[in-house]
Amino acid sequence: MKKKSFILLFSIMIMQIPVYSAGIDSAYIYNTYAQTAKKIFDRIMSDSSAWDRMALMCDTYGHRFSGSSALNKSLEWAAQEMKKDGFANVTLEEVMVPNWKRGIGTCSLISPREREIKVSALGRSIGTPPGGIEADVLVVKNFEELTAKSAQAKGKIVVYAIDWDNYGQAVQYRWAGAVKAAQAGAVASLTRSSSPIGFDMLHSGVMNYEDTVRKIPHGAITLEDALFLKRLQDRGITPRIRLNMTCETKPDTLSYNVYCDLKGSEKPEDIVALGGHSDCWDYGSGAHDDASGCIAGWQVLKVLKEIGITPRRTMRSVFWVNEENGTRGGQTYAEKHKNEKHSLVFEFDSGVFEPTAIGYTGDEHIFEILKGIEPILKQIAPEMVLRKGGGGVDIGPMMKLGVPGMSLSTWGKNEYFWFHHGPADTPDHVDPMLFNKCIAAIAIATYIYADLPDFLSTK
């Protein structure tokens, strides 16, 4: 190797190795920030303005589905309020989002008796032909049973009456149910709503097609109706239903990411971005999912500003748009900001419950240093830990570019999905005290990160 190229390679290596300041360790973090963290915590816990703002956003604009005017009006409102709060760089950043329209969905049992079945078209689904589809039903408990009974599926409407184990398991039937049913020759498919409980509620969500597989309409029905159809079939009766859905995908339409900055005192060009997604499904008003995530990040900046704490780096509150059926907000943000320096991206999109962990994906050495936050977090909730593995759908594109990611986990593994994508995701189901605890955890983790000395620098 020539000397010149060795020097070049060595310089590149130096640039890419994080520079750590001497004496910075987890004890330093605790000793330096415990008192400030207490001040932040006390202020957040004594302030109801975040919950009030979340409820105002949900109540005033209703659901904020991508492609709706309500979504854009809520974003314009947020930008105006951010300006009133006195933040810098308030921006409505243009994002083209998918424009799927639900239309009307009806489903009727024709045989063995007439009865209405509530149905929710799933996001991206095609509609039925005019006049709907009338067909016999084949109820299955899972994909394995569909495979075993595929000879019986041809020309039928497949109904997935699945057991709930967890969201990741259940959501496969929402996501891939149409493709699997079409491969078996079905003319449409319906899945039990992706929620651990029923109460006769429909839950929406996005589904998927594959280019090589015939597209069939795909909807969600209630847990009760899925089990009702299964009981009929178990008694040797073949239910017959008529399904009518007028959903369609229109051309992409304009929406926005919204953000504002609390400028850093020493490194204003270095950004710690935090937030959630502004859009939600068209039931309820998206209080947990994810107005709370958006408002939480905003509240962190607001409280720091009000008590006069300015971190070294800039903290940016971001409302990413279109997480639910496109991730265009996260993708557009990464595309438009890839040349800005981001030291961290943080997302809160796990429902407002008792906080359990701050997850971090990034440099191993920084993770060890950040462990100093853990005893501070335990003062918010005794179970809280800092653990490896943070991320989120909206921050995923930035993380792919190499930016460390962080997120808040909460206790609501099952309870969250009572509300998630359903009509009961409303402000009254967000506990104000737990919301403040979540905000406090986010504030402490992100503020400390944004204020750390030089060692976060990779240049």
Work out whether 289 is an interface residue with Zn ion (CB under 5 A): yes
319: left (phi over 0), alpha (psi -120 to 50) or beta: beta
- Cβ at position 194, least distance to Zn ion in Å: 13
Query: How many residues in the chain?
Result: 459
Give the nearest distance from C-beta 413 to Zn ion in angstroms. 15
Least distance from Zn ion to the Cβ atom of residue 103, Å: 23
Closer CB to Zn ion, 261 or 349, in the complex:
349
The region of 210-218, 289-297, 309-317, 359-367 touching Zn ion under the rule CB under 5 A is 289-297
Sign of CA dihedral 48, 50, 423, 161: negative
* Minimum gap (Å) between residue 240 Cβ and Zn ion: 37
- Choice between 261 and 289, CB closer to Zn ion: 289
Residue among 81, 93, 323, 347 flagged as catalytic:
323
Residue 306 bears catalytic tag: no
Tell me whether residue 287 or residue 456 sits nearer to Zn ion (CB atom).
Answer: 287
Q: Tokens representing 143? A: 């994909």
Taking the least distance from each CB to Zn ion, the nearer of 290 and 451 is 290
Distance CA 107, CA 104 (A): 10
Q: Which is nearer to Zn ion, 70 or 88 (CB)?
A: 70
State the Cα angle at 165 between 161 and 170, rounded to 5°: 55
The region of 34-42, 288-296, 402-410, 428-436 touching Zn ion under the rule CB under 5 A is 288-296
Q: CA gyration radius for the chain?
A: 24
HSE value, Cβ hemisphere, 13 Å, CA-based, for 166 = 3
* Closer CB to Zn ion, 320 or 447, in the complex: 320
Residue 447 gets the label, from left (phi > 0), alpha (psi -120 to 50) or beta, of alpha
240 with 232: CB under 8 angstroms? no
Segment interacting with Zn ion (CB under 5 A) among 24-32, 129-137, 306-314, 349-357 = 349-357
Strand bridging mode 133-140 / 157-160: parallel
| # residues near Zn ion by CB under 5 A | 3
- State which H helix or E strand residue 148 sits in: helix 143-148
Q: Is 290 in the site for Zn ion (CB under 5 A)?
A: yes
Give min distance, CB of 360 to Zn ion, in A. Answer: 20
Name the minimum Å distance from CB 449 to Zn ion: 23
Distance (Å, whole) CA 306 – CA 355 = 24
**Span 81-140, contacts to Zn ion by CB under 5 A:** none
User: Any contact of residue 349 with Zn ion (CB under 5 A)?
Assistant: yes
Task: Please give the structure tokens belonging to residue 210.
Answer: 């594959």
Secondary structure (3-state) at 184: coil
| Euclidean distance between CA atoms 440 and 265, whole angstroms | 22
Judged by CB under 5 A, which stretch of 199-207, 243-251, 290-298, 438-446 contacts Zn ion? 290-298
Q: Which residues are catalytic?
A: 323
Q: Which residues bind Zn ion (CB under 5 A)?
A: 289-290, 349
